[in-house]
Structure formats: structure tokens, C-alpha cells
Structure 1
Amino acid sequence: MVTPAAKREAVARLQAVLGMSERRACRVIGADRKSMRYRSQRDDDSDLRSKLRELAQQRRRFGYRRLHILLRREGVVINRKKTQRLYREENLAVRRRRNRRRAIGARAPAPVLALPNQRWSLDFVHDQMASGRRFRVLNIVDDVTRECLRAVPDTSISGRRVVRELTDLIAERGKPGMIVSDNGTELTSNAVLAWCAEIGVEWHYIAPGKPMQNGYVESFNGRMRDELLNETLFLSLDHARVVIAAWAEDYNQERPHSALGYETPAAFAAELHKQWPASLRPTGSAAQAIAQPALMRNKAAGL
């Protein structure tokens, strides 16, 4: 019993059960009698607690930092520490999932311009519907702005389908400087290789067994798995398409991203466009990089 609240509770119990006077109970517990009559002067936070619980129910995998950003967006101006205290008192802590093994050593992608469309990353994530039928989602992410450019669910996605999706995306946003992916059969197919040669896009394949070299889309897959796939029961493929499209839109437009200073990817991309007008974008050695090359682990040397 170290807190005043715990001591007040103990004194009240001694008085109720053993019939002690307040003076004697305080002496036994070691509490100051003045603290027994203290009444909290804090404001009634019932509305704030209700709003926090509502947001936590809508965003079941958000911690108090992202919930604090959402409260600020709605005009609730409070200190982050108060949000953390109310979050803890309401028992809203996110249940931790089993930890994965982490790679050892520093890692980062090759340097690129701090501009949209400099590098896209591709990868697949798998799930199944209520009927047990499995499907996969092709995710395409902009590594600089962290935007989800495409999230395409289907029961089968071939190399030709990947090419069609990329062609449509380039028609909307323009050609990327580089595309990064793993060595999956769909992504190393003749259709993809011929398409790259035709339109002149550099396609970089990561080293086999090194998913950390494609970390941006791997991180996105983890967020999708944690916040959407593990939380949703998909009734059909059409249902999956609607739900995943809505989640991707929310991810770009509403979800605070910690790596972007808790801005949304869409807002961050818009700010980059303002900072680097087309006529002033640097080229060559004057270009600013957003990352440095990775430090690779030397297994032969035991490092």
C-alpha cells in the first residue's frame, strides 16, 4: 500500500470490519489523516472516456498514440500523457501477438529521392474465407510516401495479372523509378520480364531468404494482417474486395503513420509535392536520399 487511494481503502476496511476509529486505523496503516478526507478535484472525464472507448472499439489494433492523434483531429485538445492514463485506466491495451524473430544488424533500402513514385514494392499476403477457400492479396506500396497504391484480392494472381495491375497504376500515377519484389514465380515470370523490357522499368529482386530487403511492403503486410485480416471474417471474395478496398482507403487517408510523424500517407505525399515542385526537383548528385545502403551481416567472419 503505497498510494493514498490504497491507504484510504485499507483504513475504510479496518473501520468497517474491526470497528476501529479513523485515528487508530490511520496509525496502524501509517497514513496521514488529512489524506483520508481528500476528494479528487479532477474534471469529469466521462465523455472523453466514452469517446476514447468508441475509437478503441473502431480501431482495435491502435495504441494510445494513434488514438491520441484521432482525438486531436476531432478537436479534443488534451495532453498525450492524459490520453495514456485514461487508455490504461479503461483497460484498452492492445493484446500483444506472438513475437517474430528479428534480423540482426542494421538494414535499410538503397537511397532514393524523397519524392513519390521513386520506388514501389510488391508482395503477396494470404488469407481464407469463411468457407475455407484461400485467397491472396497483391499489395503495391510506395516506399517513400508509404501509400498503399494497390491491394488486389483474388483466388489466383498470375504474372499477367500483375502486369495488368501495374500498367493501370502507371497510367494513373506515372512510371516509377524502381520496383522491388521477392523471387516469387509470378514476379519472375516471362510476362513480367517482357513487360519490364518493353516499358523500361528497373525491377530489383531481393536476395532469396532476405525479406528484410523488402521491408516497406513487409511492414505493410504486417499492419494489414494485424488490423484487418486477423479481425475480419470474409464471407466471399466480393466481400473481401469491398472490405480490403475500404481499409486501404482508410490506411492512406485517415490512419496516422508513426514513420511519417503520425501524418497520413496521403498528407505526407501532398506535402512532398509542395516541397519539391517539378521545376526544382534535384537530379544526379544533388538529389537528397532518404536512406543509406544496408549493412550486411558477414556470416563467414562470424559477425
Structure 2
Amino acid sequence: MLNVVDDVTRECLAAIPDTSISGRRVARELTTLIERRGKPGMIVSDSGTELTSNAILRWRSEHRIEWHYIAPGKPMQNGFVESFNGRMRDELLNETMFRNLAHARIVITAWATDYNTERPHSALDYRTPADYAQTPTTAIARPAARDESSARRAIAQPAPTGVNTNRAPVAPG
């Protein structure tokens, strides 16, 4: 599965099942997405071989797209996508007996469409990802909104002004 998810709108932009997905295939799919949706500010991914291949390195250079690889063994650095993948696995992949690849493509496309158009998300003010993406909002229009994606989110927010953060260490009891 190649899943491409927009951190801002929460949309599943692509859910591509196949028996094998090479770096060249990923590059073709990303090119198609850019033609349809525009160029992203950054792509965040793990360091899988298809995503670190010469085809992807060449593609990102040619398209001048910043790419951030999460640290090995740190899937929460791309937490929303990991959550999406888990939801897809639990709701669809573990529950469906696919007859063949064509059947898998149909069922997975239907699930992604339902995810995008029928399921409201609390993070989107209980709107669907497709609805949120269609409405010009400050969150989408402002370039700073991209800085708040999981790719750049701080691990912990700084302490509010006036809160004492200089605490003595506590010995284990």
C-alpha cells in the first residue's frame, strides 16, 4: 500500500495497492498528485527503500520539493499518517478478503472516498476532509499552517510564562 495523506486537510490523497511499489512508481504517483493538487510544502515519509531510491532522490530534486525522512524507529514523527494507516488496517485490510488486485483497488478506493467525504474529523471542526479542503480558510491559505503539520510540530509546547520549570530531580522511591 502506498498511502498519501495531507496533514492539513486530513485527506487521503492516494491509496494505492499493488504487489510491489517501486521508487519509480511512487514518483509517477506523486507527479500525478501534484498535477491534480499542486506542489506540497514538504513531503514526510519513512526511509523505506522505495522512498530513498535514486528515482525518488532524482524526482524530488527535479521538482524542488523538500523531503523529510522520519528517524528510524520513530513512527510518531509522522503520527497522523501512522494513525491513518492503523485505521485503514483495522477497518478495512484486516476485515476484507480480497479476491484479486482489481477487487482490492475497488474496495480500497471506496473506503478512501468514504473516509474523505463521509467522516467528520474533530480536528477539522467536525467537517469531512473533502469539505474542509474545499473551503478557503485561514488554516489552509496561510503558509504558516503547514508549519503546524506533524512534520514540524514540536514534541512539547514551551511552559507558559510564569511557570517554574526548574524543579529538583525526584529520586525513585
Given residue 194 of structure 1, which amino acid in structure 2 is its aligned partner? R
Alignment pair present for 1:149 and 2:13: yes
- Equivalent runs, 1:34-183 vs 2, <5 Å: 137-183=1-47
Q: Which runs of 4+ in 1 moved over 3 A?
A: 287-292
SS in 1 for 2:94: helix
Matched with 2:49 is 185
Structure with more contact order per residue of length (Cα contacts < 8 Å, sep ≥ 6)? 2
Q: Does the residue aligned with 1:144 lie in a helix, a strand or coil?
A: coil
Q: Which residue identity lines up with residue 142 of structure 1 in the other structure?
A: D
Residue 148 (structure 2) aligns with: 290
**Identity among equivalent pairs (%):** 69
Q: How far 1:252 moved relative to its partner?
A: 0.4
Change (3 A) 1:282 1:234: closer
Q: What residue identity is the alignment partner of 1:218?
A: E
Q: Deviations over 1:223-278 (max 9, x none)?
A: 1011111221111110000000011111100112233233211112223x1x2499
Aligned residue identity for 1:238: A
> Which entry has the higher C-alpha Rg, 1 or 2?
1
Task: Report the RMSD for the aligned CA atoms in angstroms.
Answer: 1.9
Aligned partner of 2:127 in structure 1 is: 263
Between Structure 1 and Structure 2, how many residues are aligned? 152
| Residues in 2 aligned to 1:184 and 1:231: alpha-carbon distance in whole angstroms | 26
Separation in 1, partners of 2:24, 2:113: 25
Write the deviation string for residues 194-231 of structure 1: whole angstroms up to 9, x where unpaired: 11111100000011110000111101001101111122
